[in-house]
Amino acid sequence: MSESNIEIRYILKFYYKKGKNATQAAKKICDVYGPNAVSVRVAQNWFKRFQSGNFDVKDEPRSGRPVTDKVVVDAILEKIEQDRRISSYDIAEELGIDHKTVLTHLKKSWIYKKAW
């Protein structure tokens, strides 16, 4: 989530608390930040959320494929640095992650190209 998205959400929250409607808020924000800063529909969704009593401007957790944490990627690469002969299966087992995740990140890294 970009910092500008959070900023716009705080502004939407401000306009909601001032009693403005979503259309008015979106127009005022776009007047300052540009025509594509926020759509009326997005503003309406946030106003609906605020109306339900949820004033948190951060995104709700989503279902679906999780984003791999940088810590996991660093741990995979660290295992390779410690032992160049370690198998991808051993890395997956030691870190408690899926073998395919290990392979995906090894393929993306330069270590994969040099080690294999």
Find, among 12, 11, 15, 1, the residue nearest to 60 by Cα.
1
Q: Which CATH class is domain 70-115?
A: mainly alpha
What is the per-residue pLDDT for 109?
74
What is the per-residue pLDDT for 50?
95
What is the per-residue pLDDT for 107?
82
Axis-axis angle for helices 3-17, 40-51 (nearest 10)? 60
Q: Which CATH class is domain 3-51?
A: mainly alpha
pTM: 0.54
116 residues of the chain, pLDDT tens digit each: 455 888 999 999 999 999 999 999 999 999 998 988 999 999 999 999 999 999 999 877 766 666 567 788 888 988 888 988 999 999 999 888 889 988 888 887 765 555 55
Residue type at 26 in one-letter notation: A
Find, among 106, 76, 102, the residue nearest to 89 by Cα.
102
CA atoms of 20 and 8, how far apart (whole Å): 15
DSSP three-state, residue 56: coil
| Same fold flag, 3-51 and 70-115 | yes
**Domains of the chain, residue spans:** 3-51, 70-115
What is the per-residue pLDDT for 42?
94
